[in-house]
Amino acid sequence: MKKIKVQNLSVLWQIWSRKSFVTSSTLRTFSTSLIHPGNSILMSPSLVSLDCPDLWTSGSVQSDQSSLQKYSSKHAAQILDGKAIAEEIRSGIALEVKRMKESIGQVPGLAVILVGQQRDSLTYVRNKKIGSEEVGITFLMTMLPDNCTENEVCNALQSYNENPSVHGIILQLPLPQHLDEGKILGLLTLEKDVDGFHPVNIGNLAMLGREPLFIPCTPQGCIELLIRSGIDIKGKKAVVVGRSNIVGLPTSLLLQLLECPIWCARIG
């Protein structure tokens, strides 16, 4: 089975698809290139365009073990290969970044703050760096030791907040336990929160009729993969494993907005 890579690229197309990070009126001419139908790199629908019912009908959410077994016996699992989809998205972003540079002499800038040496975080950040460089996005990174102070993290974050060449900031999570994750995320400039973890972005994701500036990358990457694979999400029954703020919770919120009843399963 090939590894699904769409979620690793999602931060890149989110930076470019959200033009709120630019103040120049010239850049607004690009705002339709990714988010309007017919001229779009992404296929995921705008959240404010969704007509979500206030109440679920009883038949849409009720199920039992026998029905699940009957369903599984008639339907073979489908392997979703995200590699080709990721390449298609990457190519579209590269063309848009090139067009942006030729038109106004600017390219998007992504900054990452990494605290500690966790292997999975190092791998994830390395993939972001490679992806950014492949499509022409400027990549900056600040690495801090495990025992750094909260002030050191806040200072690094504030520096990127004030840097006009940085349009997106990622605070790589999780942080060491002695750091107040909520406090630090609250300092992140909303318009640069490309991971979508700022309380305002998460709050807007949870509210009908609202749309966050950014949606957490892995959840939206999963939705994009399903849509591009020709899977009709509406009315399906989904199980979300885990309830983390990074993946489980925002995935559940997105699926519910797309009228997909969900069950959440705890890990451990």
Query: Of these residues, 14, 19, 195, 220, which one is catalytic?
Result: 195
Identify the CA nearest to 41 among candidates 88, 103, 106, 99: 88
Is it true that the peptide bond before 53 is cis, omega within 30 degrees of 0? Answer: no
Q: Is 172 an active-site residue?
A: yes
Whole-angstrom distance, CA of residue 140 vs CA of residue 169: 9
Query: Of these residues, 14, 172, 192, 220, which one is catalytic?
Result: 172
Q: Is 128 an active-site residue?
A: yes
Query: Of these residues, 19, 128, 192, 193, which one is catalytic?
Result: 128
- Residue 120 amino acid letter: D
154: Cβ contacts below 8 Å, ≥ 6 apart: 184, 187
174, burial (CB in 10 Å: exposed 0-12, middle 13-18, buried 19+): middle
67: Cβ contacts below 8 Å, ≥ 6 apart: none
Q: Is 98 an active-site residue?
A: no
* Residue entry with tokens 């925002």: 250
DSSP classification of residue 70: H
The answer to whether 225 touches 88, Cβ cutoff 8 Å, is no
Whole-angstrom distance, CA of residue 160 vs CA of residue 148: 18
Which residues are the active-site residues? 128, 172, 195
